[in-house]
């Protein structure tokens, strides 16, 4: 039997998948992995291990033989706890049994939310620099990503005029993420009210990714879903990864009016069936008894943020006073280097990993993302090395 | 009582976690000047709010031959002074590392440390039990340390964390 010359494998790959660029972070990650003795400020997850009582709840669930499927939407006990938590902390009421969906992280929740609402060619607006998945997820849902650059001089807030400029008759969805990865930007109730008005005027649906909402250092967090009339045009996404240090559990949730949850459920039930039961049990423990741990971690992040911010000040590296998440996004243009050059030279010369700002969209160029979800002794070493690096430039 | 402010308490919490943090770092964390941090620490030391700084050591790795025991002690309270005079007397022995007044079936919980089993046994039988007012003792020897002053002896492994993630 003679084998015919086989076609190159890429021929099997769908066009819209082929068009998605490799993540800038992935690239950089491979360089970092090949080096030893690197102090990393490049990590987008808490450095804390999941609090013990939460891990213990997961172990207990396994011991009791909780290893099966749950209801597609998630365990009713967990959904009730989520509804209560969202009501208490975000002042938005959702019906636990019909308006809450437990997902495999906010990543899945975002994906099914987009797939549930986008018709091919619909435009999806999002502010950038932003989390790396938004644009690819929109493309995979056959939508058209429309980036709205935000600026350091506006503390990376979404300005109403900037939003208005990008709205067209095809605009359907606006994605918000405050506090923002990678900038740490936050928006106040008053600022969000202006955005909400534009959403009403232009009949936009808002998908709000609130994954960092517990981690704010200053004013109180406000969710756009809590503003008058916004509950009906919002999909509220949240999870456990950041506030409870549970990234590996892969557990998050979506809250929205019943018609939207029902639509998301249709995708979730076939793509995922349900979130893992052990993670759901752990999440329940986090919501019911994890408040103290969360407060402790928040305090620690705040101290590190102060430390890093004051250190940048000392080194004359301009950085806006980010009020949320666990990132600082200093501007490095005065060094004469671009984001990528800065990150690569800092890595090669001083073995400190930061993420080039343009990995989060072109508007991130000229900045680097520094995560302070890093043990304090590591943070001290990083600061010392960055100091040496900028002095030697 | 010493006067301790909210800022002092924040400072103390950080020092409780790691007493070796430099004043420069503390200043940056708490948005204070370095001099202010130094003078606050000095005052807290002078006022005996901060009593001492010590290292927490894994005795096995350091190959320290130590025998540790915890002793439940029943004592007779005295008119006027209650348990204080006798407790103070017991606590002053160098073998005693900690000493607490307890509620429940006994009065004092005394932690002692020696080089050998015999040394600790001798301390209990020769010194502690013979003090006037000590009614009884029950000694429990410690076999293995899992956690010491909030620190796990076997540290958790976290090196599998990715070095860069979105």
Successive 10-residue mean pLDDT values, chain A, 393 residues: 57 88 80 89 93 97 97 98 98 98 98 98 97 95 97 96 98 98 97 98 98 94 98 98 97 98 98 97 98 95 96 95 96 95 95 95 96 93 96 91
A201 reaches B (C-beta below 8 A): no
Interface test with A, best of B31, B164, B165 (most A CBs within 10 A): B164
DSSP state of A10: G
Site of tokens 């740490």:
A184
pLDDT of residue A236: 98
Nearest Cα to A209, choosing from A318, A287, A105, A352? A105
SS3 A370: strand
A96 close to A85: Cβ distance less than 8 angstroms: no
| Distance separating the N- and C-terminal Cα atoms of chain A | 64
A233 reaches B (C-beta below 8 A): no
Give A39-105 as a DSSP string.
Answer: EE-B--S-SSPPPHHHHHHHHHHHHTT--S---TT--HHHHHHHHHHHHHHH-----TTTSEEEESH
Distance CA A105, CA A98 (A): 19
pLDDT of residue A184: 97
Whole-angstrom CA distances from A139 to A129, A131, B98, B144 are 17, 15, 65, 58
Cβ neighbours around A162 below 10 Å, total: 16
CB pairs below 8 Å between A and B: how many?
57
List of chain B residues whose C-beta atoms are within 8 Å of the C-beta of residue A44: 165-166
Contact B163 A311 (CB under 8 A): no
Site of tokens 């930061």:
A354
pLDDT of residue A175: 98
A134: cis peptide before it, omega within 30°?
no
pLDDT of residue A22: 81
Run of H or E including B71: strand B67-75
Taking CA–CA distances from A132, the nearest residue in chain B reads: B166
**Residue B105 CB contacts under 8 Å (≥ 6 apart), including other chains:** B72
B65 reaches A (C-beta below 8 A): no
Distance CA A255, CA A239 (A): 11
pLDDT of residue A24: 74
Site of tokens 């990234």:
A247
List of chain A residues whose C-beta atoms are within 8 Å of the C-beta of residue B166: 23, 25, 44, 131-133, 181
Give the mean pLDDT of B2-7: 85
Whole-angstrom CA distances from A387 to A182, A346, A370, B36, B61 are 22, 10, 14, 24, 36
List of chain B residues whose C-beta atoms are within 8 Å of the C-beta of residue A181: 166
More confident residue, A6 or B123: B123
Tokens of A295: 């407060």
Interface of A with B in 342-381 (CB under 8 A): 353, 355, 376, 380
Of A29, A49, A311, the CB nearest to B158: A49
Tokens of A63: 């011991």
Question: SS3 for A315-360, per residue?
Answer: CCCCCCCCCECCEECCECHHHCCCHHHHHHHHHHHHCEECEEHHHH
A44 reaches B (C-beta below 8 A): yes
B6 reaches A (C-beta below 8 A): no
Distance from the Cα of A26 to chain B's closest Cα (Å) equals 8
Contact B166 A40 (CB under 8 A): no
Contact B18 A376 (CB under 8 A): yes
List of chain B residues whose C-beta atoms are within 8 Å of the C-beta of residue A40: 163-164
Distance from the Cα of B104 to chain A's closest Cα (Å) equals 28
A315 reaches B (C-beta below 8 A): no
Alpha helices (runs of H) in chain B, residue ranges in sequence order: 6-17, 23-30, 34-46, 59-62, 84-91, 117-122
B29 reaches A (C-beta below 8 A): yes
Nearest Cα to A72, choosing from A277, A265, A284? A265
Distance CA A345, CA A58 (A): 42
Tokens of A235: 């999909």
Q: Is pLDDT at B158 greater than 70 in this prediction?
A: no
Which ipTM score applies to this complex? 0.75
Contact A353 B163 (CB under 8 A): yes
Task: Compute and round to an integer the Cα radius of gyration of chain A.
Answer: 21
List of chain A residues whose C-beta atoms are within 8 Å of the C-beta of residue B30: 303, 306
**Cα atoms in the Cβ-side hemisphere of radius 13 Å centred on A40:** 23
A340 reaches B (C-beta below 8 A): no
pLDDT of residue B64: 92
Of A43, A49, A307, the CB nearest to B162: A43
Contact B29 A47 (CB under 8 A): no
pLDDT band at residue B156 using 50, 70 and 90 as cut-offs: low
B155 reaches A (C-beta below 8 A): no
Contact B164 A25 (CB under 8 A): yes
- The pTM score is 0.88
Q: Which residues pair with B74 in a beta bridge?
A: B136
Taking CA–CA distances from B28, the nearest residue in chain A reads: A307
A46 close to A326: Cβ distance less than 8 angstroms: yes
pLDDT of residue A221: 97
Of A40, A49, A310, the CB nearest to B164: A40
């Amino acid at each position: 039997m003679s084998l015919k010359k086989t076609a190159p494998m890429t021929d099997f790959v769908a066009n819209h998948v082929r068009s998605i660029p490799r993540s800038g972070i992935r690239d950089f990650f491979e360089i970092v992995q090949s080096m030893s003795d690197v102090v990393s400020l490049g990590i987008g997850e808490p450095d804390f291990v999941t609090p013990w009582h939460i891990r213990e709840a997961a172990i207990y669930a396994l011991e009791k033989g909780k290893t099966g499927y749950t209801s597609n939407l998630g365990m009713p006990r967990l959904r009730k706890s989520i509804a209560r938590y969202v009501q208490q902390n975000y002042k938005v009421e959702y019906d636990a049994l019909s308006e809450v969906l437990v997902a495999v992280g906010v990543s899945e929740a975002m994906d099914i939310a987009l797939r549930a609402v986008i018709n091919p060619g619909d435009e999806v607006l999002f502010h950038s620099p932003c989390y790396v998945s938004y644009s690819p997820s929109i493309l995979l849902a056959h939508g058209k990503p429309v980036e709205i650059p935000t600026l350091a001089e506006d503390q990376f807030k979404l300005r109403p005029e900037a939003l208005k400029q990008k709205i067209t008759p095809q605009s359907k969805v606006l994605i918000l993420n405050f506090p923002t990865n990678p900038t740490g930007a936050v928006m106040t109730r008053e600022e969000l009210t202006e955005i909400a008005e534009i959403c009403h005027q232009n009949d936009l649906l808002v998908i709000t990714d609130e994954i960092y909402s517990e981690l704010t250092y200053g004013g109180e967090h406000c969710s756009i879903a809590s503003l008058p009339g916004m509950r009906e045009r919002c999909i509220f996404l949240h999870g456990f990864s950041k506030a409870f240090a549970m990234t590996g559990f892969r557990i998050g949730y979506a809250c929205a009016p019943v018609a939207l949850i029902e639509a998301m459920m249709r995708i979730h039930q076939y793509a995922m069936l349900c979130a893992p039961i052990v993670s759901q049990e752990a999440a329940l423990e986090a919501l019911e008894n994890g408040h103290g741990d969360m407060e402790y971690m928040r305090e620690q992040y705040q101290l590190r943020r102060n430390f890093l911010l004051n250190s940048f000040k000392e080194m004359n590296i301009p950085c806006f006073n980010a009020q949320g998440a666990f990132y600082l996004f200093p501007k490095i243009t005065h060094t004469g280097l671009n984001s990528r050059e800065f990150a690569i030279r800092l890595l090669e010369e001083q073995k400190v990993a930061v993420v080039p700002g343009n990995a989060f969209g072109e508007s991130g160029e000229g900045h680097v993302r520094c995560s302070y979800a890093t043990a304090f002794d590591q943070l001290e070493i990083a600061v010392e090395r960055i100091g040496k690096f900028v002095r030697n430039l | 009582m010493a006067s301790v402010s909210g800022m002092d308490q924040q400072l103390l919490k950080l020092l409780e976690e790691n007493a070796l943090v430099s004043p420069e770092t503390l200043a940056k964390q708490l948005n204070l000047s370095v001099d202010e941090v130094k003078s606050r620490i000095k005052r807290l030391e002078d006022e005996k709010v901060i009593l001492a700084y010590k290292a927490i050591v894994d005795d096995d790795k350091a190959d320290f031959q130590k025998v540790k025991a915890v002793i439940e002690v029943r004592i007779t309270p005295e008119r006027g002074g209650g348990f204080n005079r006798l407790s103070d007397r017991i606590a002053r022995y160098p073998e005693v590392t900690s000493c607490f007044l307890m509620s429940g079936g006994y009065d004092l919980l005394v932690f002692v440390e020696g080089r050998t089993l015999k040394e600790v046994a001798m301390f209990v039988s020769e010194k502690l039990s013979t003090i006037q007012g000590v009614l009884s003792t029950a000694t429990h020897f410690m076999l293995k340390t899992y956690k010491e002053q909030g620190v796990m002896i076997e540290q958790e492994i976290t090196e599998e964390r990715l070095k860069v993630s979105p």
